[in-house]
Amino acid sequence: MYARERQQLIVERARQEGRVDVTGLAGELQVTPETIRRDLTVLEEHGLLHRVHGGAIPVERWSFDPQLSARENVMVAEKTRIARAALGELPAEGAVLIESGTTCARFAELLPADRPLTVITDSLSIAVSLAARPNLSVLTPGGRVRVTTNGGVGSWAAQRWREVFADVAFLGTDGISLHRGLTTPDQNSAEIKTLMLRGARRRVLLADHSKIGPVSLHRYGELSEIDVLVTDTGLDQGIAEDIEAIGPQVVRA
């Protein structure tokens, strides 16, 4: 089978099944995993597939932005481990940013009761859950609320995020790529994410391994802008090392 024929088959399989796996394709097509990885790279460069951990997904899945409720029951154990590990980055006092999203929400739930912190969040859900905590001062920049995240976006929110500079930002993301950086499906969210990313001295990214590889439509930051990536043990050690070569320390919880 010629390379072009093999690549066409890979694209068709990805569109039929929603994802292709390097190991499975290598066995089925009787070629090495390295050959399949090269095929996937070529297909990604031509805009037909997007590389993800262990394989690829069709480009049509690029901008999928599921509702918050649909994400709450996905990777629950991994998100809890990530949230607990991220507590190690929490300052003894000062101001922290906490972004909207299910992993960051879990992190917010675990905040200790003995630290006097100012928490600035774009998430109405997180703000409400923390508002009664006597050791916390909770601020929300406001803005138009996105139903998929309960986070505020738009010019109102952006203006206030430009005025914020905290000690540590605890952030989420939709996609992490070695080559394309940090991405999200929504343009309005991308603007706020960029401002939050640059609104703290130290940036901690909370993301389970399924977020590493997919690429969404809007790039809002570079991996080199992240100080620490807290993920789970589902992330391949080799990919973790590739990420660390770009800049962030990788913690696999």
Per-residue tens of pLDDT for the chain, all 253 residues: 888 889 989 988 887 777 899 999 999 999 999 999 999 988 887 777 878 778 888 765 544 455 554 455 567 889 999 999 999 999 999 999 999 989 999 999 999 999 999 999 999 889 999 999 999 999 998 878 876 676 888 888 899 999 999 999 999 999 999 988 999 888 888 999 999 999 999 999 999 998 898 888 889 999 999 999 999 999 989 999 999 999 999 999 9
Burial (CB count within 10 angstroms: exposed 0-12, middle 13-18, buried 19+), residue 116: exposed
Kindly list the distances between the CA atom of residue 138 and the CA atoms of 16, 127, 144, in Å, as whole numbers in the listed order.
47, 6, 18
Q: Is the pTM of this model over 0.75?
A: no
Give CA–CA dist 77/62, Å, rounded: 25
What are the DSSP calls for 78-108, one per residue? HHHHHHHHHGGG--SSEEEEE-SSHHHHHHH
Residues 211, 79: contact at Cβ < 8 Å?
no
Give CA–CA dist 106/233, Å, rounded: 18
